[in-house]
Structure 1
Amino acid sequence: MSVTIRTVMPDDRTAWGQLYAGYAAFYSVDQTEEMRDKVWSWLMDPAHEVHGFVAEAHGALLGLTHYRPFSRPLAAGTGGFLDDLYVLPEARGSKAGEALIRAVQREGRERGWGVVRWITADDNYRARGLYDQMATRTEWITYDLTPT
């Protein structure tokens, strides 16, 4: 299957929404249509920090990724954070995931980012198999703190 990677476009809203809902379900995250509308508005705003690519084959969307720059004070530079990566279960093995990551890598090269970074769940074994081939797993542990 030949997969094309391109920037997400206004006409992609319905198919992108279905993909993003699938991504949320994969991680057992409750996500509303209003939440997807908000993220979509970010993607459609050229001034917003979040951008996106989609993977397409035969006129249908197979996957998505969202990414954004982040400041790296210790390195005195900028990196890119790959926030979301999702490929339809039936399209896994099509190289769409790899192509989406490579698209963010090229974007990072063009923007002068020193690194492209992402996180995944410890039990996301299939994706981790791909990530281990493409990138270096770090020793960093992530924490979340709710600002209350």
Structure 2
Amino acid sequence: MPLIRPPRPEDRPAWERLYAGYAAFYRVDQTPEMRARVWGWVIDPAHEVEARLAVAPDGALLGLAHFRPFARPLSASTGGFLDDLFVAPEARGQGVARALIEALRAETAARGWSVLRWITADDNVPARVLYDSLAQATRWLTYDARP
């Protein structure tokens, strides 16, 4: 199993490669400036967005997870939202995604959050097989309205 830990300043180049791979997977145009902004968020302890990295015994980064708290007014609670989860292609099938999610579930419990929630594309079948083994799919559809 990989070590799951917060990012360190020296992780930036490897994190950028992983995050660029994540953007490419979802066919999202992402610039170096966008990655720089997100990196600034995840290493700033005052920012709401945090990260966990999956690290191999040799120190190579295998995967990343970005998460944050979110208010749940209807239940008068706070939940955790997993925004981004990505595993390097060469590390897939080795339990890296499961380890990242389980680490975030532990964070959820430690922080007293009521739920850990995430979304994925409906055609992301390999990920959905894992997600179905770890969590319950909801009946909610997601909508995006442009400003």
Relative to the length of structure 2, the TM-score reads 0.98
Q: Is the partner of 1:138 in helix, strand or coil? A: coil
Unaligned runs of 5+ in 1: none
- Partner residue in 2 for 1:141: 141
How far apart, CA to CA, are the structure 2 residues paired with 1:104 and 1:9?
Answer: 18
- Partner residue in 1 for 2:70: 70
TM-superposition CA deviations, 1:26-78 (whole Å, max 9, x none): 00000000000000000111010000000011210010000000000000000
Runs of 4+ in 1 over 3 A off after TM superposition: none
Q: Is the partner of 1:55 in helix, strand or coil? A: strand
How far apart, CA to CA, are the structure 1 residues paired with 2:19 and 2:65?
Answer: 9
How far apart, CA to CA, are the structure 2 residues paired with 1:127 and 1:89?
Answer: 13
Relative to the length of structure 1, the TM-score reads 0.97
How many percent of aligned residue pairs carry the same amino acid?
A: 62
1:19 matched to 2:29: no
How far apart, CA to CA, are the structure 1 residues paired with 2:123 and 2:59?
Answer: 32
AA at the equivalent of 1:116 = L
Unaligned runs of 5+ in 2: none
Say what the alpha-carbon RMSD is for the aligned residues.
0.6
How far apart, CA to CA, are the structure 1 residues paired with 2:80 and 2:87?
Answer: 20
AA at the equivalent of 2:47 = H
How far apart, CA to CA, are the structure 2 residues paired with 1:10 and 1:94?
Answer: 26
- Give how far 1:9 is off: 1.1
Corresponding residue pairs, total: 146
1:83 matched to 2:83: yes
